[in-house]
Amino acid sequence: MERLYSNLCVCKYGLNCIFAVSKVRDFSLRTIMLIMIQVQTSIHDRFSVEFKTNFIGLENEHLYKMNSWLFVPASLDINASTYSKEQFYRDVKSNVRLKTPFFTLKQMAEESSHPVRYLKTIAQTVDRSPASSLMADLEFHVKMYVAIYKSALRDETKRLQTLSDEVVEPARWFEHLAAMRTIVSNYRTIMASCDSSDQAARIFHYGDEYLSHLTELYSVRMLRHAETMDAAPMTTVKDDIRALITAEHQYKVKSGYEHFSIDSESQSRDMFHHQNTLKKYIESALYLKTDSEPDGAAAQQLTFGVAAGLAMLISMLIALPFQKYLGDYPTLIFIILVVAYMFKDRIKEYARVRFAHRLKSRFFDLKNNIFFRGRKVVNMKEGVDFIDDAKTPEEVLAVRRRTDLEGRIPLEQIILYRKQVDIDEEALRQSYEYRYDGINDITRIHFQYFTLKMDDPETTVSMMDEDGSIVRRVIPRVYNLYIVLQCVVEEKLEYHCFKLMMSRDGIRECVEI
């Protein structure tokens, strides 16, 4: 229950798609029967919004669907002729990754914990036989150890930061710090015991450097919060945190790792870039490799061939009778054949368009084959189309909640983005030593193109105040985009609607309505 609560509370704008949850106000009293999809959303930067969808694995469930309707103001001139599918897919960045296995810091610090045991076992194996074939497994478990530490450290540090002067628990802080020290010490002990090859040493040192960075980073955050607490028992806690920060900084210098510098801007800049690279390296253990291809390509080629054959048949039916009866007039036959070819060409194009339209309703645009450690584990399909109100379900329009005035004018263009996820959970479990808890689909939508035809971000309005004087006020000019999400599992539907307030300067706010 505590883990579930933390999952649902980390997003900036709290969205959670939960099925079969009893509607009780006090979350702690809810009976959780079945959870299959959770969605979190946040503003990633000035021009993009990120949706993180958690597809939670179940024994008998494999197929999930996510449909998104994007309602765009018509004044932005975003339509099928100005905004192509290719442009949409350029503006959408999607990553699929495994959910990080859940461990508390206390659990991970135990000698018998999975991260410690797996890393120790593979290190001993590599130490006995430093074969190149084992390096991939060593690298995977080093990355997993550090990734699990980061997840546990992030979650538990956030919980500590919720404490105030009224809730002073020094013992809890000391336990947290002790667990951090033990986890880091366990890793470095295993690293020191495995000195069989330079390649293994490099892998361990990459993990160790990021482990040190995480320890210092979150210790600083803890200290910053602890300094806002004036309670006397926290004095010793603050000293302990400072000692940990100092020790890690000295360790970085001794080990030759890059570190931030208060006096050198260039060094801090390079350090920030280096840490981002290390972060991507560590988290790559959980990301799944995606191989994309057009969906329904074989069916499309087959139907286009049928269209060409149909056109050829009709042209032959036109030409052959005339050729039989007008064989003595070659010029006339030539003219008839040209006309028949013209009809053939037009019939072929017409049939292609008609068949393509029918295929579009049956197939998606892209089929993504997603692999984990060389094994195909997920089949994901994506499709996007511009549609009108007549093709938009009434339930979606009801969730959009247009006012009566909005319903009387052509106010919006509608973009439908479809996604279907088919998870081979058995293949995932066979390729993964840790407990499989599901996958995360992280989709980031960039809206910078949408700002091209927006007016100035601010406008000046004159009005009269209570004294009868005219005053001028600067008012933000915003455009409202609405995103309706539909989660589908076993024909169960869950809807959520978001209001995205934008100006030419970027996204101002994203709220659930």
* pLDDT over 60 at 28, yes or no: no
In whole angstroms, give the CA distance from residue 183 to residue 164: 27
In whole angstroms, give the CA distance from residue 274 to residue 270: 6
255-281 pLDDT per residue, tens: 888 776 666 677 677 778 888 899 999
* pLDDT over 50 at 25, yes or no: no
In whole angstroms, give the CA distance from residue 442 to residue 39: 10
Confidence band (pLDDT; 50, 70, 90) for 32? very low
* pLDDT over 50 at 1, yes or no: no
131-146 pLDDT per residue, tens: 777 888 899 999 999 9
Q: What pLDDT was estimated at residue 120?
A: 92
Q: What pLDDT was estimated at residue 8?
A: 35
382: closest CA among 39, 87, 66? 66
* pLDDT over 60 at 463, yes or no: yes
* pLDDT over 90 at 170, yes or no: no
55-104 pLDDT per residue, tens: 776 555 567 888 899 999 988 999 988 998 889 989 988 888 888 888 99
Q: Mean per-residue pLDDT for 444-451?
A: 92
Q: What pLDDT was estimated at residue 315?
A: 63
Which tokens is 207 given?
């993990």
Residues 346, 324: contact at Cβ < 8 Å? no
Which tokens is 242 given?
């400072």
* pLDDT over 50 at 494, yes or no: yes
Confidence band (pLDDT; 50, 70, 90) for 303? low
Rounded to two decimals, what is the model's pTM?
0.74
The Cα angle at residue 296 between residues 293 and 300, in degrees rounded to 5: 115
Q: What pLDDT was estimated at residue 31?
A: 27
Confidence band (pLDDT; 50, 70, 90) for 304? low
419-438 pLDDT per residue, tens: 888 888 777 777 788 887 77
216-247 pLDDT per residue, tens: 999 999 999 888 887 777 889 899 999 999 99
* pLDDT over 50 at 18, yes or no: no
Q: How many residues does the chain have?
A: 513
Q: What pLDDT was estimated at residue 47?
A: 92
Q: What pLDDT was estimated at residue 108?
A: 94
In whole angstroms, give the CA distance from residue 142 to residue 228: 36
Mean pLDDT over the full length of the chain: 79
Confidence band (pLDDT; 50, 70, 90) for 441? confident
In whole angstroms, give the CA distance from residue 48 to residue 33: 34
Confidence band (pLDDT; 50, 70, 90) for 467? confident
Q: What pLDDT was estimated at residue 350?
A: 55
Confidence band (pLDDT; 50, 70, 90) for 9? very low
Contacts of residue 47, defined as CB under 8 A and 6 or more positions apart, other chains included, come to 446, 447, 448, 451, 506, 507
Confidence band (pLDDT; 50, 70, 90) for 13? very low
Amino acid identity at 429: R
Q: What pLDDT was estimated at residue 17?
A: 41
